[in-house]
Structure formats: C-alpha cells, structure tokens
Amino acid sequence: MYFSLIDKIETLEPGKRIVATKSLSLAEEYLQDHFPNFPVMPGVMMLEALTQASAWLIRASEDFAHSIVVLKEARNVKYARFVQPGQTLVIVAEIVQEEENLVTLKAEGSVEGQNNLKAKLVLCRYNLSDTAPSQALTDKRLIAAMREQLKNLHR
C-alpha cells in the first residue's frame, strides 16, 4: 500500500533544500483506526512524509538519475507534537552529505511554526538495471512517472 504524504512542494532548491506540505484531512484512511476518538497522524506516517520530501529533493538534485530512492536509515528521530486533522505539516529537508549511492539529510516537520518531529535520514538511490540489466525499461518508466508526479506537486 502506498500513501502519498506530500500534497505540495513549496520550495525546491536542487542540491540543497526542499519545503513541502501535507494537509491532514479527517478523510485520511488510516485515521479511522488511529485513533477512533482522537485522530492523529501516526508517527511512522510523519516520518514517511519527511522521507518522501527528501526523496523528491534527491530526484530533482540529480535530474532523476535513479529510479529508486528509499529510506535506508532514520537516526535521532524525535517527536514533539501530534498532527491532527485540519492542520498542515510543513516539511523541510536539507542535504547534509552525499557519497556514492547514499544521501544524508536533516529533516524536520512543523505545524504553525512549532516543531513536531525531526530526524537525520539516510536514503539510498539506485536503478533496478544496476543488478538486472533487463530492468532498464522499467527504470525509464519509473523515472518518467516520477517526473510527471513532480510536475503536479511543484507548480
């Protein structure tokens, strides 16, 4: 199951920084169970929003050179507040270091200027064809789809 946890990219500075938003609505499917009488965005979903924004920054920074950008490690994750329906989580991620297929980022999420979470993320980037040359066409298709999705997020 895939949840797109980025509604809009406000600022995108390739190689440097991204600012993205996620407006939480009571219609979010996962809120029906988390929690029925006190709906809040699960911490793991908040972390995933930081990861997705970071992945968009990496893709844009390298002009979509890799079809896959995934979380390898989340360090020093600190949660401070809940995100409730009607609130907008503002995500800021900055590239700290790049080496071979890994990118380290500093990321944080806030609501109305108050910190909700922060983390140091390490994302891994690669192409499917790196290990299976027959997957080159799949890489091309994934990259094309991601380019289109970015156009919708960053207008």
Active site residues: 34
Question: Whole-angstrom Cα distance, residue 3 to residue 94?
Answer: 22
What is the helix (H) or strand (E) element at residue 97, kind and residue range?
strand 88-99
Three-state secondary structure of 103-140: EEEEEEEEECCEEEEEEEEEEEEECHHHCCHHHHHHHH
The set of residues, in sequence order, having a beta carbon less than 8 Å from that of 129 and lying 6+ positions away, is: 135, 136, 138, 139
Contact 105, 53 (CB under 8 A): no
